[in-house]
Amino acid sequence: MNLTMELDGRRADWNTTVFFDISLPVSPMPSTNAFFLPDATFTAFRAGSFVGSVEQGGPCRCDVVTLAPHGNGTHTECIGHVAGERYSLVSCLRESIVTARLIDVPLVEGTLEKITLQALRESWDQTIFTDALIIRTGAAAERRSRRWSGTNPPYIDVDAMEFLHASGIRHLLVDLPSVDPEEDSGALAAHKMFWQWPWAPRPERTITELICVPDEAPTGLYALVFNAAAFDGDAAPSRPLIHPLVLR
């Protein structure tokens, strides 16, 4: 199906059947993980003689799934991540389809690898405004099964995040486990800068982490569909899909 949306005052066409899946699934198999959070588990439900496993002789599959959204696969989070229970993703994420730009940003080595303001400025073409920015920093194969815990993963420098805030984007997606360092004594400075918490809260904004952008996806303009699960918490597993946009 062909659809049309407006992008910075111009018509943009996209096809619902043409897309790149930029998510990492929540899986019972060994997969990406971060922050020393436990891996997701899928356990067949049992009650009396019933077993929720076709393989074990049950009539259907019925799993009890345990997961930690911030460490098991792609997840979309809201300001409640730093502000607490007053905000939940189901109330903050009010857009299901938005315009987005995919960019490649090199990681700058130093004490820790990070996305710097200079690297972001040099990689981001801002001639056309989009609602979301998708940042790819590495190859997909390296992202699909990487175990990030205890490795001091790359992050976004606060100056770069201040620039992102000033740009006006509402949604940020990164192929890193977090926009902040693994160890920062709980400061979460980049998260707070993006959400302007607590000085001028921006609950309409979201951050999606642990994405995995296929290498063959070209940089440029897309329609982004979040596909976030309806979790009444600060974060939920999501399956963002990006559909190439054609400007008219």
Among 165, 159, 149, CA closest to 115: 159
Residue 17: pLDDT above 90?
A: yes
Percent of the chain with pLDDT over 70: 100
Among 210, 225, 228, CA closest to 19: 225
pLDDT of residue 110: 73
* Contact criterion met (CB below 8 Å) for 188 and 211: no
* Contact criterion met (CB below 8 Å) for 37 and 72: yes
pLDDT of residue 61: 96
Question: What is the rounded average pLDDT of the residues 174-189?
Answer: 96
Q: Where are the domains of the chain?
A: 2-26+69-247
Assigned CATH for 2-26+69-247? 3.50.30.50
Q: Tokens for 67?
A: 């997961």
| Contact partners, residue 149, CB within 8 Å, separation at least 6 | 33, 34, 35, 36, 37, 71, 182
pLDDT of residue 145: 82
Percent of the chain with pLDDT over 90: 90
The model's pLDDT over 196-227, given as tens digits with 9 standing for 90+, comes to 999 999 999 999 999 999 999 999 999 999 99
- Whole-angstrom CA distances from 39 to 108, 126, 174, 209 are 30, 38, 21, 16
CA 119 to mean position of chain CA atoms: 20
pLDDT of residue 245: 97
The model's pLDDT over 46-97, given as tens digits with 9 standing for 90+, comes to 999 999 999 999 999 999 999 999 999 999 999 999 999 999 999 999 999 9
pLDDT of residue 108: 86
Residue type, 197: W
Highest-confidence range of 67-81, 101-115, 133-147, by mean pLDDT?
A: 67-81
